[in-house]
Amino acid sequence: MSPSLLQRAHKGLLKKRWVQGLSGRWATAITPDRWIFIVGCYNSGTTLLRDLLGRHPQISSLPSEGVRLTDSLPRPETFGWQRMWSRCRDEMQIPVDENTPVLSERIRRQWSLALPPSAECVLEKSIANTTRLPFLQAAFAPASFIYLVRNGYAVAEGIRRKTEPRRHGREEFGDRYPIDLCAEQWRVSHEVVSGDRPGLDRFLQVTYEELTDRPAHVLNEITGFLQLPPLGTETTSDTFHVHGVASPIRNMNAESIARLLPDEVDTIRAEAGPTLEQFGYEPA
């Protein structure tokens, strides 16, 4: 079996609930020097950013979204909402209370199976975790948050294109979500982060547009924020595989927005206009 097949088999095993249940009891909880959480809306470039930062010699990245590797962080798909946590937001949130230390211990035990024991900095990327930043800060100290924002027109189109609501029991939507629902998810994502941001100790906001246009500059900004040595320039020169697509680092907003009809652009603007204006995002 080749190393890549071994890695895929290992990752698949870690997603099994019975493995997570056992590891939550007997594995040794990992205790890195710091935790790094990438958050943002779906289709915003978070996977690309995770893969880039995961090349840093002092950063150990989970091989999959952290919510897939633990039984203690709910996912919207469990409630029939693929890439749409705005519709089950209450179920996604986790309060900060007397149970936080116990829950943190269990999650860190389960994640430990996917990480080296000596991990100095652990990097985790889960879109659903955008709903529970206060919990993550309390449960994984010291925590740093990197929030990635992308043009809402492109994001709404991407969410619609990559979802299959009927497969998750949402027959009322047919094969694709309506575009206003996708724009709502983008808008609500930013509203939630904006509401939680004042209570976060370490928070950095960057945009997909900056990341793709000036990747070396943005990565230097991020490593500076994390108080880590910079990444080499060769980090941004490779071809990356994101969601099955091989491509160099480039801004793909134009391709996404070109798929929208004029009335869909109007619908997105009606749903998320003030937030789009806040960032200066246009359908071009």
Structural domain includes residue 19: no
pLDDT (tens digit, 9 = 90+) per residue, 227-279? 999 987 766 666 655 555 566 899 999 999 999 999 999 999 999 999 999 99
For residue 14, being part of any structural domain is answered with no
Sheet holding 59-61, edge to edge: 59-61, 121-125, 34-40, 143-149, 203-207
CB 115 within 8 A of CB 177: no
pLDDT tens series, the chain, 284 aa = 344 544 555 566 666 665 566 566 767 878 999 999 999 999 999 999 999 999 999 999 999 999 999 999 999 999 999 999 999 999 999 999 999 999 999 999 999 998 988 899 999 999 999 999 999 999 999 999 999 999 999 999 999 999 999 999 999 999 999 999 999 999 999 999 999 999 999 999 999 999 999 999 999 999 999 999 998 776 666 665 555 556 689 999 999 999 999 999 999 999 999 999 999 999 97
Quick check: is 259 in a domain? yes
pTM: 0.91
Asked whether residue 189 is assigned to any structural domain, the reply reads yes
In a domain, 176, yes or no: yes
Residue 284 lies in a domain: no
Burial pattern 124-152, b for ≥16 Cβ within 10 A else e, equals: bbbbbbbbbbbbbbbbbeebbbbbbbbbb
| Count of structural domains, the chain | 1
158 within 8 A of 43, measured Cβ to Cβ: yes
Asked if residue 64 lies in contact with residue 152, where contact means CB atoms within 8 angstroms, the answer is no
CATH number of the domain residue 82 falls in: 3.40.50.300
**SS3 of 55, please?**
coil
Q: Which residue has the tokens 């019975």?
A: 18
* Residue 45 forms part of a structural domain: yes
Give the structural domain span for 62.
28-279
